[in-house]
Chains A and B, each alone.
Chain A
């Protein structure tokens, strides 16, 4: 292999999101397919309505979680590839200088597709194991005739093989595009050359070093700000929605959404923070040499993302409210004993409190980790 893409831990994010996406989609789609096959049996008024509502809910769930997770996976994938190319410029440049074509190098990025395959496969397996229990709870309310469980191998093709091929292809094409830089400029890998030099503004002249560092960190990797917003968005939307879902739909649906929300949020948060800390390890090392405390380092490097994180939480709150409002008002409009949905303020406070604790704990954890950044290692890198 020309390029050893062994950053396993980093790829875990892709595996986790594809796992979640496939798990949820398999469960609901499988159920849906079995339900559809029973359409002719269901004719009575209330049962029919229940049937429509169930179809609708599973479609909404599949679209929201599946779509959300798919988008995340795509973004993560491109982010990883770019990051990989950025951090391995020299080796890649040398390969190109030796005469490997862009495509010959890029082809190796197909392993990203393998990760998706593994994650999605595990999700499919998980869903298969959960299936009997899932059907059991769905059948428990007895409003519909019992839906019997069938396996639909086609789903495996659509949800596991398809995405894996798609991601492998996308990774190769994207890498190929990214590699279209002259070999020499890859090899020279001038840190300096990359830095965009912002125009110096008069009002900046007297801002403190820490304030300036905060600003620089944010400015340099805007995608990470997005990740922060996204992490807290997921957390906020999913946790709050899970509580409402428990009332509107079933406890299991609530629990599932809660779980996915937390997993997604943690993945995105972890990814974002790790990248920030790694990307700034030189700066942090230098600050430690000079005698800046761990707390100061983590404040300057990570503290700038705090507003973004809480903003994401706010957006998530609004988003889930709007979504549920629409679902209740449109989907369940004609149902008997129409469901009421009100904004749940206590739940929001709970969720916010929990979020704040988790977020600050993670930051604290990283400030502990900053201690371990070895000055010597960084200096030996040259």
Chain B
């Protein structure tokens, strides 16, 4: 369970400062599929970064099963991320000079995962192990980044607009893979998006509006990646 308590975050100083998170309190349940929905600039990415321990809030607490990660040192935070967190970004951020196998291995080696190749297969990339990111399509690259994140067996997977750079077809594919692996493996999913349709895949939806949470609701019925609109 992730408990966010009164999170505040301001960027800049003096007159040009802007409060991006204005006191956010919310709970994300373990094993849930949570979507953070909001317009561009509403502070979603910042919230995701704070919740995952990439950034520190100015005030407030981020509790993982009661342990506040905002009080950890930089090195402790790194160790925390290593053990608990997986990330997927809109821009993939694969290492361009390494092939698919080695990119995924970056995640796998952290936890001594030797069966990571089955994940590559599961993402439908079995025939592309030797390819470099530059030789892959956007959707394929994002699938590699999903495999890389899951290869470290995270307890929570954070995704920041994972389909933001993809077309409808490949976007659906990626979401479909994530949805199925979530079902199978039971990790917690926290996904940021500005696409309201995607929130229909989630069991919990947190909507944001200029640095505040405007609504939190559950979906009684969730849809899969091919049932939602785009």
Assess whether A212 is in contact with B102, with CB atoms less than 8 Å apart: yes
Find the A residue at minimum CB distance from B97: A216
A340 interface contact, C-beta 8 A: no
Assess whether A292 is in contact with B78, with CB atoms less than 8 Å apart: yes
Q: Which of A191, A212, A289 contacts B87 (CB 8 A)?
A: A289
Assess whether B99 is in contact with A379, with CB atoms less than 8 Å apart: no
Which candidate, A14-22, A180-188, A202-210, is the interface stretch facing chain B?
Answer: A202-210
Interchain nearest-CB distance for B150 vs A (Å): 12
Assess whether A290 is in contact with B110, with CB atoms less than 8 Å apart: yes
A290 to B84, CA, bound (A): 10
B105 interface contact, C-beta 8 A: yes
B106 interface contact, C-beta 8 A: yes
B134 interface contact, C-beta 8 A: yes
Q: Which of A195, A197, A216, A289 contacts B81 (CB 8 A)?
A: A289
Which candidate, A223-231, A266-274, A279-287, A317-325, is the interface stretch facing chain B?
Answer: A279-287
B96 interface contact, C-beta 8 A: yes
Chain A, interface residues (CB within 8 Å), range:
20 to 34
A213 interface contact, C-beta 8 A: yes
Assess whether B96 is in contact with A290, with CB atoms less than 8 Å apart: no
Q: Which of A220, A287, A293, A376 contacts B79 (CB 8 A)?
A: A293
Assess whether A212 is in contact with B98, with CB atoms less than 8 Å apart: yes
A371 interface contact, C-beta 8 A: yes
A90 interface contact, C-beta 8 A: no
A287 to B103, CA, bound (A): 11
Find the B residue at minimum CB distance from A191: B96
Residues of B127-161 whose CB lies within 8 A of A = 130, 132-135, 152
Residues of A within 8 A of B109 (CB): 208-210
Interchain nearest-CB distance for A375 vs B (Å): 5
Count of interface residues, chain B, beta-carbon cutoff 8 Å = 35
A371 to B130, CA, bound (A): 32
Residues of B within 8 A of A208 (CB): 105, 109
B91 interface contact, C-beta 8 A: yes
Find the A residue at minimum CB distance from B79: A291
A192 interface contact, C-beta 8 A: yes
Q: Assess A216 versus B110: contact at CB under 8 Å? Given A293-B79, A376-B49.
A: no
A290 to B78, CA, bound (A): 8
A222 to B111, CA, bound (A): 32
A382 to B161, CA, bound (A): 13
Q: Which of B55, B82, B97, B132 contacts A291 (CB 8 A)?
A: B82
Find the A residue at minimum CB distance from B109: A209
A293 to B81, CA, bound (A): 10
Assess whether A283 is in contact with B79, with CB atoms less than 8 Å apart: no
Interchain nearest-CB distance for A217 vs B (Å): 9
Residues of A within 8 A of B228 (CB): none
A108 interface contact, C-beta 8 A: no
A208 to B152, CA, bound (A): 14
A294 interface contact, C-beta 8 A: yes
Assess whether A200 is in contact with B55, with CB atoms less than 8 Å apart: no
Interchain nearest-CB distance for A94 vs B (Å): 22
Assess whether B82 is in contact with A292, with CB atoms less than 8 Å apart: yes
A1 to B108, CA, bound (A): 49
Q: Assess A290 versus B152: contact at CB under 8 Å? Given A282-B93, A371-B74.
A: yes
Report B103-127 CB contacts with A as 1/0, cut-off 8 Å: 0011111100000000000000000
Report B176-204 CB contacts with A as 1/0, cut-off 8 Å: 00000000000000000000000000000
Q: Give the interface of A toward B (CB within 8 A).
A: 190-193, 195, 197, 200, 205, 208-210, 212-213, 216, 220, 282-283, 286-294, 371, 375-376, 379, 382
Task: Beyond the given A208-B105, A376-B55, please list 19 additional residue pairs across the A-B interface where CB-CB is below 8 A.
Answer: A192-B96, A197-B132, A197-B134, A197-B135, A200-B99, A209-B106, A209-B108, A216-B97, A220-B97, A286-B95, A287-B106, A289-B87, A290-B152, A291-B80, A291-B81, A375-B54, A375-B55, A376-B49, A379-B93
